[in-house]
Amino acid sequence: MGHAVSSQNVDIRRVAAEAGVSIATVSRVLNHPERVSPETRARVLETAARLGYRPNPNGKRLRKGRAETVGLVIPSPQGRFADSFFLELLAGLGEGLSEAGLDLLVATCPPGSDELACYRRLVEGKRVDGLVVARTRRYDERIAYLLERGVPFVAHGRSDLIAEPYPYLDLDGREGFYRAARRLLQLGHRAIAYIGAPREFNFALHRLEGYRQALLEAGVPLRVDWILEGDLSEESGYRLAGGLLEAPEPPTAILCANDLMALGVLRALRERGLRAGREVSVIGYDDIPQAQYADPPLTTLHQPFREAGRRLVEMLLARLGGAPVAGLQEVWVPELVLRGSDGPPQGERRFP
């Protein structure tokens, strides 16, 4: 009945005194309830609740030698931070972690500073028990570092050039773009260009590979002047699309390694009076929020980032619990969501 007390500074000692037991017992009630008799357990729980007792995390952390915290480093680029990926991931991570009673430590890495230093600060400063590594690169020095130090972590995305096994959850860009390209081929397209991502990123090669495979299977020869590399920005999509469209023989479809570049392509089309989904088909990748408000709404590959975040937490928890890496490698297939930016090619069209 007693309502909450001014829980200003109630520690385990206070609870113990109030309940007429030793602090060890209080601790046991909270951490190993089965090792204490039901009567005392009930009594302790009651007084703890009455006093509003919350174990001080720092005492706990110090004693247990753990941080009870998981880290995430977000690179924060110079300009606008258009990247909702991290926010979605964050939501998933946060939900999963709070259920597990762990804290989430977020460090942002300013553009200039080297990223690895941020990781070092968290790891060597014992601020986290484990980490989530996002946006993996082809050879990812962060992963190499964490493996070398034996720090538990999970990666969102693979890093193909790292031999040693580690836990990851990846979205299958190869399969995704294989499906996207097949969609275009089935619509009748044969002149399909590809605007890719910097080779540094691991996913860049996977996506390109999906595109190649689909075309080769369909007997469509690859054209080297239709395989471009952007920097993932809207601007670069716009620029590269301009080049493609001005060429004597422009493609009838353009596949983009991310939505931002696809939006740039849409802009380039609009400027030339071309309609996406009619004269030229465009497919993106990521399904960022803007995609559905684009004109026309962008056909793209959806990646369930929030769900990925939740799953990553489960995997990390397993890893922290000592589970072997073997069972902790997953690849999900992104879903092709059809909107308005793709359609059958229009045979008669010709533009300079």
Partner DNA sequence: CCGGCTTGTGTAAACGTTTTCCACATCATA
Partner DNA sequence: TATGATGTGGAAAACGTTTACACAAGCCGG
Binding residues among 33-92 for DNA as defined by CB under 7 A? 35-37, 39-41, 53-56, 58-60, 62-65
The upper half-sphere exposure of residue 82, i.e. CA atoms within 13 Å in the direction of its Cβ, equals: 17
Beta-bridged to residue 337, according to DSSP, are 300
Judged by CB, which is closer to DNA: 20, or 327?
Answer: 20
Q: Which does 327 bind (CB under 5 to 8 A by kind): a second copy, DNA, none?
A: none
Q: How far apart are CA 132 and CA 102, in angstroms?
A: 13
Residues in contact with DNA, shown as a per-residue x/- string from 8 to 27 under the rule CB under 7 A? -x-xxx------xxxxxxxx
**Residue 332: which of 298, 300, 299, 307 has the closest Cα?**
307
Q: How far apart are CA 222 and CA 45, in angstroms?
A: 70
Rounded to the nearest whole angstrom, what is the least distance from the CB of residue 138 to a second copy in the complex?
25
Name the DSSP class of 161: T
Rounded to the nearest whole angstrom, what is the least distance from the CB of residue 15 to DNA in the complex?
8
Rounded to the nearest whole angstrom, what is the least distance from the CB of residue 62 to DNA in the complex?
4
Judged by CB, which is closer to a second copy: 120, or 182?
Answer: 120
Hey, what are 240's tokens?
């590269």
Hey, what are 251's tokens?
């493609």
Q: Contact residues for a second copy (CB under 8 A)? A: 7, 52, 54, 56-59, 61-62, 67, 69, 74, 76, 80-84, 86-88, 90-91, 93-95, 98, 103-108, 110, 118, 121, 124-127, 234, 263-264, 267, 270, 289-290, 293-295, 306
Judged by CB, which is closer to a second copy: 57, or 324?
Answer: 57
103 is a contact residue toward DNA (CB under 7 A) = no
6 is a contact residue toward DNA (CB under 7 A) = no
The upper half-sphere exposure of residue 273, i.e. CA atoms within 13 Å in the direction of its Cβ, equals: 4
Q: How far apart are CA 303 and CA 306, in angstroms?
A: 9
The pairing of beta strand 153-156 with beta strand 168-171:
parallel
Q: Which does 22 bind (CB under 5 to 8 A by kind): a second copy, DNA, none?
A: DNA
Hey, what are 18's tokens?
């109030």
Hey, what are 254's tokens?
């353009």
Beta-bridged to residue 300, according to DSSP, are 337
Q: Which does 212 bind (CB under 5 to 8 A by kind): DNA, a second copy, none?
A: none
Judged by CB, which is closer to DNA: 47, or 202?
Answer: 47
In degrees, rounded to 5, the angle at the alpha carbon of residue 305 between the alpha carbons of residues 165 and 135 is 50
**Site residues, DNA (CB under 7 A):** 9, 11-13, 20-28, 30-32, 35-37, 39-41, 53-56, 58-60, 62-65
